[in-house]
Amino acid sequence: MSAFRLHSPIDSLITGFDKALRVVGGVAASSRPNPGQHATDCELSDEERRHSAGLMRVNHVGEVCAQALYDSQARFGKSPAIRAQFEKSAREEEDHLAWTAERLAELGSQPSVLNPLWYAGSYVMGSIAAKLGDPQSLGFVVETERQVEAHLNSHLETLPAQDAKSRAIVEQMRVDEIAHGASAQALGAAETPLPVRVLMKAMSKVMTTTAYRI
C-alpha cells in the first residue's frame, strides 16, 4: 500500500514539507552507484569546466522539479497502482539528484540558488495535473520525460568530449527518463494538448536558461 495512504493528512503534510526541505537543501541519497564513479577524471579548461557545471546545474534543477512533480502527483493520484509508480520513479529520480549534486561539487560549482522556487512551481504544476485525473497526470509525465530526454540528448552533444564523468551520469539519466515515460504511457496516459505542450516547453526554456547561470 502507498505510504501516502498509511499517513494521516497531517502526517502527510509534515512528510511532504520535510522532503521539500531536504530536496532544496541538497540532502539526497542514491540507492544506486554513481555512474561516473569509474569514469576517468580529466583536465578541463576553465571554460569547459564552467560549461559542464552549467549543464549539470540544469540537470540538478530538473531533478529538483522531478521530486516535486512526482511527490505531488503521487499525493493526489487516484489509483494505488499509479501512486506506486510515481513513488518508484521519484526514488529513481533521487539517484539523479544525488549524482548531479556530487558532480557539481567535483566541478567546483553549486546548485541553483533558485531551487526553492523551482520546487514550489513544479509542485503546483504536478498537483494541477493530478487533480485533472490519472490519465492526464500520466500524460503530463510522458510529455515531461519526452522534453527531458531531448534536453539530455543536447547535453550529450555539447558536454566536453573528455568529461567522461558527466557524460556517464547524463547517459544513465537519459535511460531512466525514457523508462519513466514508457511506464506512464503503459499505465494509460492521455495525450497532452498541444497548447499545454508548448507552454511546458516555454517554461522549460526559461528554467534551463536561468539555471545554467545561477
Binding residues are: 63, 93, 96, 145, 177, 180
Which CA distances in Å does 19 have to 16, 24, 27, 35, 185?
A: 5, 9, 9, 24, 27
Q: How far is CA 176 from the centre of its chain?
A: 11
Residue with cell 515531461: 144
Per-residue DSSP letter, 25: T
Which residues are part of a known binding site for Fe cation? 63, 93, 96, 145, 177, 180
Identity of the residue numbered 58: V
CA geometry: angle 131, 151, 124, nearest 5 deg:
20
Query: Phi and psi at residue 140, in whole multiples of 5°?
Result: -65, -40
Which CA distances in Å does 136 have to 5, 52, 189, 194?
A: 21, 35, 6, 13
Distance CA 71, CA 112 (A): 20
Q: Is the dihedral of CA 28, 30, 36, 38 positive or negative?
A: positive
Closest to 40 measured CA to CA, from 171, 172, 166: 166
